[in-house]
Amino acid sequence: MEREEDKIGVVPPPSLSTEKAALIEKLTPGTQWRSRELLLNRQIEACRLREAGKKGYNHQGTALLIQAASAVPDLEAKLGIVGYRHNYQDAGSRVTLLVVLSDGRLAVLKVGPRSGEAEQLKLLAERGASVPEILNNGVIGRGGKMVAWLLMRFIEGHVLGAKRPFLVVEPGLDYADVRRRVAEAGNFFRLAHQPLPAPYDGPHDFPGAISFREEVGQYFDSVCVPKAAEAGLMGPGDPTVNSRRWLCDFDTAALAAPPALLHGDPAEVNVMERPDGKLVFIDPVTSYGPPEFDAARWISRLFRHGGHSPYVVADLAGVAVNVEPKLDLHVLLLALACELRADAWHESVKQGREYALQLVRVADELVRLSPEVAALTPQPDYVEKGLALVEARLLQLETEQKLRVRGVTLSEAISSS
C-alpha cells in the first residue's frame, strides 16, 4: 500500500506548461507524478520479493537491478528527463520507467544488462514491422561494467494482457477480430523472420541472441514446473514435466530448417493495441530458432483465453500459415503442443487440474498429428489437406471432452443415439 508521505511534494515539473501537463495526465490514466527515488525503490523491492519466491521467479537478480538503478540519475541529465509517472515492476533485472522529457514528450526508459533489444527493434523498424520507436540508446559504465539504456517513444493504447485474468479474447469480442489479430501477428512474423543482412552470418550471430531452447527451457523449468507441483499435478522427477523431453519434439522437424531471429515472447503482455486497433509488439527476447515458435506462443494464448475449444487451435493455425507461408504446418503443431503443455502447468494453480489436463490432451493430439501432416508435404495442397485433418481430429477431441464432462465415452454416445 502506498504511504501518504510518498504522495507529498510530487507535482508536474515547473518547466512543463499547464497544457502539456494536462495532456500527459490524460494519456496516462491510473498514474501520478512520482519521485525517481520512490519508483526505483519500488521496483527493487518487487524484484527482491520475486527473488525470495514470494511472487514467482526472478530472471537475473536484484544486484543487477540495483546497478541499473544507479545509472538513472546520470541519464536523467543526459536525456533531459524532467518527470516520472510510473515504473514497471515485472521487468526482471531492468529498470523500466515511464518518463517525461523536457519537450513534454512521454517516453519509456529501460536500463539494465546489455542485450540485443535495441538492435532488434531498429532492424524490425527498418523492415516496416510495428514496434516501439527508439528515441535514443547507448551504454554507460557502472561499477566496472557497462549498462545498456534504451529510450523509446510512449505508445498510446493498452497492453492486451493488462487485465487479470489475462483476456486476449475479451468478453463480447467478435471472433472475426480474434482472427484479425492472428493475421496481423502473422504479418509481423513475416517481416521479423526474414534472413539477416550482412555482416551477420545468421541469427546466432545477432547481438544478445539466445537459443529458443534455452529461453523455453528456463520458462518451463523455472516457472511452469513449480506451479504444477504446487497444484499437486506431479511429483519430483515426473517425466511429463521435463522440458528437455518436450523440446525433443522439435529435433527432427523444426531444427532441420535454418533458424530465424525470433521475437521470443509474443505473449499478450508483450503486445499493445493502439486506439485504432493496430498491434505493436514490444519487449523482444531476441532469441533464435524455428519461426513457428513465435506463432505458437501467440496462438496458444488466444486459445487459452478464448473458451478452450480445441477447434480454435486448428482455425487460428490455418490463419497463421496462410498469412506467413514460411511457417510449416507440421512444425507449428509441435510448437503449439509445447506451448500448450507449458500453459497447462503455468495455469494449473489458478485454473485447476481438469483445466491443465484438457490442454495436455490437445497438446498430445497435436504431437500425434504432426507426422501425419508432414507426410502430406510433397502434395501441392499440403496445407489445405493438413488443416482439414487437424480440424477433423480436434473436433472429435472437443466432442470427447464434452462427453467426458457428462461421464460417457464417444462410443457409448454413438451407440445410444
pLDDT at position 390 is: 93
Answer yes or no: is pLDDT of 56 > 50: no
| pLDDT at residue number 170 | 46
Residues 30 and 173 in one domain: no
If one counts the domains in the chain, the total is: 2
- Write the pLDDT tens digit of every residue in 161-212: 654 333 344 444 567 777 888 889 999 999 999 999 888 888 888 988 888 8
Give percent of the chain with pLDDT exceeding 70.
80
Residue where a domain stops, chosen among 127, 154, 181:
154
19 and 114, same domain (yes or no) = yes
**Domain assignment of residue 204, yes or no:** yes
Q: What angle do CA 93, 95, 99 make, to 5 degrees?
A: 165
Percent of the chain, pLDDT > 90?
24
Angle, vertex CA 156, rays to CA 155 and CA 160, nearest 5: 85
Instruction: Give me Rg for the CA atoms of the chain.
Output: 23
Q: Is residue 180 part of a domain?
A: yes
Q: Identify the CATH number of the domain in which residue 148 sits.
A: 3.30.200.20
Model confidence at 280, in pLDDT bands (50, 70, 90)? very high
Kindly indicate the confidence band of residue 22, based on its pLDDT and cuts at 50, 70 and 90.
confident
Domain that holds residue 202: 159-411
Q: Quick one: 380 and 243 in the same domain?
A: yes
Q: How confident is the model at residue 135 (pLDDT cuts 50, 70, 90)?
A: very high
- The larger pLDDT score, comparing residue 63 to residue 388, is at 388
User: Residue 248: is its pLDDT beyond 50?
Assistant: yes
Q: What is the pLDDT of residue 253?
A: 52
Of the residues 154, 182, 203, the one at which a domain ends = 154
Do 171 and 150 sit in the same domain of this protein?
no
Average pLDDT, the chain: 80
